[in-house]
Amino acid sequence: MLDASQGRHDARRHASLFSTRNDIFDFNQAGLQASAEYSFANYATLTAAYRWTDGHTVSSALAPNPALRELSRALTVDKAVRPPPGRTQVAYALPTKTQEFSLDYSLPFGRNSAVSVGLSRQLIDADGGVDYRNTRLSLSLVHILR
């Protein structure tokens, strides 16, 4: 049996004071992803990827925020973030279309280690001009203990 949730009566004790639509993670989305990987003679790899998603983005903001309440599909208190005194932190879901581009380079050294460098860019477009742009640069070291 599959239960469907409307969010209005689920976990009433956790319901938001700002919105009766408190199921911020109840949504469907669709996406496409493509990636290509090239391995070099020295066993290094270069990976390029693209992902497109038509769905929702869940984020967090300070409340009250009337504009956000109008745009969001769901809104609830976010207890994971400590807000400034006198304010409330809320988690919200916005219908969005997202594009993400990423490029990763991994270089092995020795028999059990590799260093990787990655760059990714997210373009998140929501209704009402609430758009997000994120760029992430990562550096990681992997070592297998034996």
Asked if the structure places residue 34 within a domain, the reply is yes
Q: Evaluate if residue 27 carries a pLDDT over 90.
A: no
Is residue 3, in this structure, part of any structural domain at all? no
More confident residue, 85 or 23: 85
Would you give the end-to-end CA distance of the chain in angstroms?
A: 46
127-145 tens-digit pLDDT: 778 888 999 999 999 999 9
In a domain, 77, yes or no: yes
Mean pLDDT computed over every residue of the chain: 83
pTM of the model: 0.71
Domain membership of residue 71 (yes or no) is yes
Above 50 in pLDDT, residue 55?
yes
Tell me if 23 is assigned to some domain. yes
- Residue 4 belongs to some domain of the structure: no
Convert 51-63 to b/e letters by CB count within 10 Å (16 or more is b): bebeebbbbebeb
Report yes or no: 89 and 49 within 8 Å, Cβ to Cβ: no
Q: Quote the domain boundaries for residue 108.
A: 12-143
| Number of domains the chain contains | 1
Q: Is residue 1 part of a domain?
A: no
**Where is pLDDT greater, at 13 or 112?**
112
Q: How many residues does the chain have?
A: 146
**CA-wise closest residue to 101 among 69, 134, 66:** 134
